[in-house]
Amino acid sequence: MTAVNPTQHRKAKALKPGSRRPAKELCSECGLCDTYYIHYVKEACAFINQQFDNLEVQSHGRVRNLENELELYFGVHQDMMAARKKEPIEGAQWTGIVSTIACEMLNSGKVEGVVCVQNSPSDRFQPMPVIARTPEEVLAARVNKPTLSPNLSILEQIEQSGMKRLLAIGVGCQIQALRAVEDKLGLEKLYILGTPCVDNVTREGLQKFLETTSKSPDTVVHYEFMQDFRIHFKHEDGSIEMVPFFGLNTKELKDVFAPSCMSCFDYVNGLADLVVGYMGAPFRWQWVVVRNDTGQEMLDLVKPQLDTQSVSSSGDRRQAVQQSIPAYDKGVTLPMWAAKLMGVVIERVGPKGLEYARFSIDSHFTRNYLYVKRNHPEKLDAHVPTFAKRIVSQYQLPKE
């Protein structure tokens, strides 16, 4: 592959992080524009030039089969399972599958560095992208950072380091931009380990969410929207606080999510080689999606350390999704007693496994489709991928 010539594009480099944002209010802060790779932003940015079909072919050799419901929802893949580590990593958000893969990639010599995100020394939730060269540096990045993160701001460091084999960990918008400039990095091999992602916020937005939702926002270590329809907040003392989805102060939080996230249709990180998340797995397991042979190569490194089981699916999401559309639109918030009761009922009889994943995708895609239609109507047709349009078409949206 041919690397970009730094002297050719250095004058296009932003003067400081955040100083140039060609995508304007839709910018996801992926970090590309903080480097001289900003030269490629009009082609690479998912919010300026949606080119999902082309990038699927580049990444996996083909586009997803829209007639196959598993691929319609979850993208190109050759295997899918639920997994958890037999011996969890202490302090990991789940059992530590992502961190373990990254460590083994370094230990085996398959890569020379890992793009991951540590915490800023001054703020546990402020992301600090790094190129980890040791397992210790990888482990310092464990636990998700639920804020917009400029992972690609380290692209110049990759070139300057002379690295030829790299693992990058990231979310959909970052991976789309990375795939678009992959052949400019001068790498012999790029491995991409993705996580599903939805509804990120700025650091200020995160603080508002924590203060609005948690009883002790200053002690939250991490949180996740879980399959039991509750948000699980883990606190510094190890305690778990659970808040039902339906008890969120929707009116207060409706505008807290980044416009880029409200305009995103790559929840499942369809361009990564391997994806590890939770959305399609049973409670306390992780959902693992192998998209291509490179992803299988990464998974094979850690397979002996994992318990695995087949994915499953039960329930019917459709009615819950249809009801959620006007509820979110109108900012409906239930009293906490009603929210808890609804959560218990839905947990017992509602969608589980892959059907829960479809519920989450459907509810977010319908919401995001309406957001783009209302706020960026000129972009609607080109920006929303074909697979997302087909998913949204199953539901009755509010008449404008």
- pLDDT confidence of residue 113: 97
Answer whether 106's CB lies under 8 Å from 82's CB. no
- pLDDT confidence of residue 10: 43
Residue carrying structure tokens 């991976």: 175
The reported pTM is 0.90
Helix (H) and strand (E) counts in the chain: 16, 13
- pLDDT confidence of residue 201: 86
- pLDDT confidence of residue 339: 67
- Name the helix (H) or strand (E) containing 169: strand 165-170
Answer whether 103's CB lies under 8 Å from 298's CB. no
- pLDDT confidence of residue 350: 78
Tokens of 336: 């906490």
Answer whether 352's CB lies under 8 Å from 227's CB. yes
Strands (E), 4-87: 79-85
- pLDDT confidence of residue 177: 97
- pLDDT confidence of residue 342: 67
The two beta strands, 113-120 and 220-225, are: unpaired
In three-state secondary structure terms, 369 is helix
Secondary structure of 372-387 in HEC code, one letter for each residue: HHHHCHHHHHHHCCHH
- pLDDT confidence of residue 157: 93
- pLDDT confidence of residue 11: 40
- pLDDT confidence of residue 399: 84
Answer whether 336's CB lies under 8 Å from 117's CB. no
Amino acid at 286: Q
DSSP assignment letter at 400: -
Is the alpha carbon torsion for 188, 193, 196, 201 positive or negative?
negative
Q: Could you say which residues of the chain have pLDDT below 50? A: 1-15
Q: Which pLDDT tens digit goes with each residue over 18-42? A: 557 899 999 999 999 999 999 999 9
